[in-house]
Structure 1
Amino acid sequence: MRIVVTGAAGFLGWHLRVRLRLTGDDVVPVTRDNWAELPDLVAGADAIIHVAGVNRGPDSAVVRGNIDLASDVAVAVRRSGAPSRLVFANSTQCGNGSAYGTGKAMAAEILADAVAHIGGHCVDVRLPNLFGENGRPRYNSFVATFVHAVVGGIAPTVVDRPVGLLHAQDAAQVLIDGLTSQQKRTDPAPTMTSVAAVLDTLREFNAVYSDGGDIPVLRSRLDVDLFNTLRAARFPAGYPIALTPRTDDRGRLVETVRAHGSAGQTFVSTTKPGITRGEHFHLRKIERFVVLGGQARISLRRVLTDRVVHFDVDGRNPVAVDMPTMWVHNITNIGDQDLVTLFWTNELFDPDQPDTYPEPVSVPIKEAAPC
């Protein structure tokens, strides 16, 4: 399918495009930079996922902004008579009387009318509070604000209340499912928690992880997602993580992973000089590299961007480098002897769901501007 994604440079838009890389579909990202081209882009598409929206600013600007964006999409759909399917990233706040809820409700009506006019199918996805890697503090989510504060040693103001959270990757999957759904409305279920509980969890995780890279107890999928969000905010400035060798007359011991109650799998590989391993990314998996012998370059690139981060490491001074989720990564033997590397992941390998998606680190992505 050829899928137009509006709001492609935003938080949810980036997560959605990462997820769509796994489907093999042709994705057309639409941002502020090419919004004027929307009619032509829509004319050649099979589907639209409309993510673009306005959620900050004066009330009138928030209402008008969401209406205007939806109207532009609707005009493009009516003029072209295509595509026959539109998925709208709506909100659970739709119609709640707030400026954002009012703007979203009116946008939903505009889009549904346009798609009905051409005999197509519109799916209204009511998303709850979203969070995840690379969110902007004080903009995308209170979770992003808390992560920024915790990493920076700041004590944020908390007004506690119950809250339902959905990771952005789960939201992206629901939007993709809408491309084939026969339903007109989808309400993905969030995980219930509270504002104060989220802050307490992030503080606990940061304290444990800051102590030599210890992995905290991860009791649930929400814990894993919050920890991955925290790790993304610490990368790359917080890496590599120094490890402390213990040496006596028998030799040397290095504690490479201290996991507090977590499951996991450890394996060791050797790599010949000049050979590269990896060239893939993960959506959920926590993975650690520790070189114990030889010299290596660990390279990483955030998916859909072209800046590559390098760490040159030496087994004589072991350090840990943890792979952030949705960063393509590899390891290359840059020495003249076999490279010995220990790898650890927080989950046992499942061949049916390996969470490993091939992509080279070095290939620049020719799409929208980096998020």
Structure 2
Amino acid sequence: MKIVLTGANGFLGWHTRLRLSALTNHEVVPVTRDNWGELGSLLADADGVIHLAGVNRAETEDEVELGNTGLANDLARCISLSGRPLRVVVSGTIQVDRDNAYGRSKRTAQNTINEAVRTVGGHFVNVCLPNLFGEHGLPFYNSFVATFVRATVSNQDPQLVDNDVELLHAQDAAQSLIDALELEVDRLRPEGVQTSVVDVWNLLQDFHLLYMPVGELPDLSSKFRVDLFNTYRSGLFPSYYPIALVPHSDARGSFVETVRCRGGEGQTSFSSTVPGITRGEHYHLSKIERFAVIQGTARISLRRMFHDEVVNFDVSGDDPVAVDMPVGWAHSITNTGNDTLLTQFWSHELFRPDAPDTFSEPVHPNMLESQP
């Protein structure tokens, strides 16, 4: 299918585009503020739409209402003009029945788009989402979790108001949106994890106390812990890396502890790489993966998917460090020396051939490079 994805540069848009790229053969047409004016022509030969463009917060309530209803009016008009029986999936919210600017505008937007879809004989699905969290969320905008991550890595102590909350990771939300493209339903309501504001804050503090000093990994025995830890790590990259490892040396040589994890699965492997050869060139959706060079010299390179800048770390076995790969970033390691490179790899889960969570992607397609 050819899928038009609105709001492709936003928080949920990036996660949805990432998952579409990794797990489907759909042709994805990203729509952002830069090409919103081309929406009509982009729908001309499309099969479906995932509509994520919207306004979560603004300085005034009018900006929120007019923003969401205006985007919906634009999309509805383009759908009607296309005359195509499109499958249209809209990201809804559990706040849709609340009498606030966000809830009212999302409700109006859904009704407007649904009416246009019906006029062309298409199919409309509202995916009603609870509170979202995940990597690269904007503090004070996308999620209180993103705000907490910012406060945690900045060693700030925000004033907490505790409430029960249902949290859904953005990748799980993205999967529901993708599923809705083919399901014969009018509404989906994916369920998140029931927790509380204070519990989230306390868990982030636990992560920080372990991980910040020497890269010790916390208990990763549940999906929610992995998702929240990955969200926390995204707030540290790239400034926190590489992680300095501590050699313990005596007359016999040196001993270096490369991975220390408090719980969950784990798998360690190592590779030898001849000079000039690159390994990796892939990304993950949830896997936590650590690289530690044991011998030789190498360059570890990373690029966030759908972005241009490449981040490089030059590392050596003489000065042992670890770099943990953020999810959604293509990464590679290249032997830059004259001798064989020995690298240790660790991931938080056992390798499963039926679900490897590894998707090919070059790191360097003529991209701008930077050194953190």
Q: Does 2:28 align with 1:27?
A: yes
Task: Give 1:24-103 correspondences, 5 Å limit.
Answer: 24-57=25-58, 58-103=60-105
Cα distance per residue 1:270-308 (max 9 Å; x no partner): 011111110000111111000010111100000111100
Q: Percent identity?
A: 55
SS in structure 1 opposite 2:171? helix
Distance 1:20 1:83, change over 3 A: farther
Counterpart residue identity of residue 85, structure 1: R
Q: Give the Cα separation in 2 of the matches to 1:107 and 1:20.
A: 24
Cα distance per residue 1:113-147 (max 9 Å; x no partner): 10110111000000110110001100110000000
Cα distance per residue 1:301-340 (max 9 Å; x no partner): 0011110001111111110011011110000111111100
- 1:13 is aligned to 13
Cα distance per residue 1:236-271 (max 9 Å; x no partner): 000000011111112210000011123200111101
Cα distance per residue 1:177-198 (max 9 Å; x no partner): 1110100000000110000000
One of 230, 248, 257 as aligned partner of 1:246: 248
Aligned residues: 365
Structure 1 contact 95–104 (Cα < 8 Å) conserved = no
One of 158, 161, 166 as aligned partner of 1:159: 161
SS in structure 2 opposite 1:236? coil
- 2:186 is aligned to 184
Q: Give the Cα separation in 2 of the matches to 1:17 and 1:109.
A: 25
Q: Give the Cα separation in 2 of the matches to 1:330 and 1:67.
A: 43
The worse-fitting range, judged by mean Cα deviation, of 239-248 and 92-101 is: 92-101
- 1:363 is aligned to 365
Structure 2 contact 62–101 (Cα < 8 Å) conserved = yes
Structure 2 contact 267–350 (Cα < 8 Å) conserved = yes
Task: Give 1:118-133 correspondences, 5 Å limit.
Answer: 118-133=120-135
Task: Give 1:249-260 correspondences, 5 Å limit.
Answer: 249-260=251-262
Can you give the 5+ residue segments of structure 1 that lack an aligned partner in the other structure? 366-371
Counterpart residue identity of residue 290, structure 1: A
One of 230, 240, 246 as aligned partner of 1:228: 230
Q: Once the 2 structures are TM-superposed, how far is the Cα of residue 83 of structure 1 from its aligned partner?
A: 4.6
Q: Does 2:269 align with 1:267?
A: yes
One of 280, 283, 299 as aligned partner of 1:281: 283
Q: Once the 2 structures are TM-superposed, how far is the Cα of residue 219 of structure 1 from its aligned partner?
A: 3.2
- 1:318 is aligned to 320
TM-score with structure 1 setting the length: 0.97
- 1:333 is aligned to 335
Can you give the 5+ residue segments of structure 2 that lack an aligned partner in the other structure? 368-372
Q: Give the Cα separation in 2 of the matches to 1:86 and 1:103.
A: 18
- 2:209 is aligned to 207
- 2:345 is aligned to 343
Q: Give the Cα separation in 2 of the matches to 1:176 and 1:48.
A: 10
Q: Give the Cα separation in 1 of the matches to 2:264 and 2:247.
A: 23
Counterpart residue identity of residue 14, structure 1: W
SS in structure 1 opposite 2:115? helix
Q: Give the Cα separation in 1 of the matches to 2:280 and 2:5.
A: 29
TM-score with structure 2 setting the length: 0.96
Q: Give the Cα separation in 1 of the matches to 2:212 and 2:248.
A: 20
Structure 1 contact 17–27 (Cα < 8 Å) conserved = yes
One of 112, 115, 121 as aligned partner of 2:114: 112
Q: Give the Cα separation in 1 of the matches to 2:291 and 2:349.
A: 15
Q: Once the 2 structures are TM-superposed, how far is the Cα of residue 364 of structure 1 from its aligned partner?
A: 5.3
- 2:370 is aligned to none
Cα distance per residue 1:70-90 (max 9 Å; x no partner): 111000000111252100011
Structure 1 contact 43–83 (Cα < 8 Å) conserved = no
Distance 1:229 1:364, change over 3 A: farther
Q: Give the Cα separation in 2 of the matches to 1:127 and 1:364.
A: 37
